[in-house]
Structure 1
Amino acid sequence: MDKEAIKETIIEKLQTVFDPELPVNIYDLGLIYNIDINDKGYANITMTLTAPSCPAAQSLPVEVDQKVREVEGVTDVNVMITWTPKWEKSMMSEVAALELGFM
């Protein structure tokens, strides 16, 4: 599987992970900032949370790690949390904004 195909499969997996406070997946919420896969199948995921006090701060990164490890072609995973840039509603996809009534 090539890197782009692996990335697409990772995105599909991440769309099954939901923020416990919002009925939208973390990918469409805009919480995933970057997905990088190197030639050896090592996946670096850079993500944020909706707020530093998010109750899922401990569980979401673990769930992301577990889901990405399920993807064929991924040999290892590193999930990094960042607060820069700070997450805001404008980072949501149109689908997420519609679901949450922001459009």
Structure 2
Amino acid sequence: MITEEHVYGAISTVIDPEVGFDIVSLGLIYGVKVDAENNVHVTMTLSTKGCPLHELIQQWTRESVLKLEGVNSCEIELVWEPAWNISMASEEVKKELCG
């Protein structure tokens, strides 16, 4: 059985190359759902709407989830509300980025 924790662990390997932190620590993952058939739905955002790597980051996220043994499918839902801000990031990321 695939759990949300498994999915978050897989997604945490995806690094935003612009800032050098993983997208989970950055607070870009708003939710993960796994159904009974191990289909995964990830709700996420990006730091800006104009992010030049938005397609790649979504692809990397999908690929990281699909690498988990037993996952049947992975759907990425990109949302813009609530808008991302630095307060959503982990304490470690905030300390590094904000001093």
Read off the aligned partner of 1:53 and give its amino acid letter: G
Unpaired stretches in structure 2, ≥5 consecutive residues: none
CA RMSD of aligned residues (A): 1.2
Gaps of 5+ in 1: none
Q: Which residue in the other structure is 2:74 paired with? A: 77
How many pairs are equivalent?
A: 99
Residues 1:28 and 2:25 aligned together: yes
Contact residue 48 and residue 87 of structure 1 kept, 8 A: yes
Percent identical pairs in the alignment equals 32
AA in 2 matched with 1:23: G
More strand by share: 2
Aligned to 1:47: 44
Instruction: Calculate the TM-score normalised by the size of structure 2.
Output: 0.92
What does 1:1-103 correspond to in 2, within 5 Å? 1=1, 3=2, 6-100=3-97, 102=98
Amino acid at match of 1:33: Y
Q: How far did residue 15 of structure 1 move?
A: 1.2
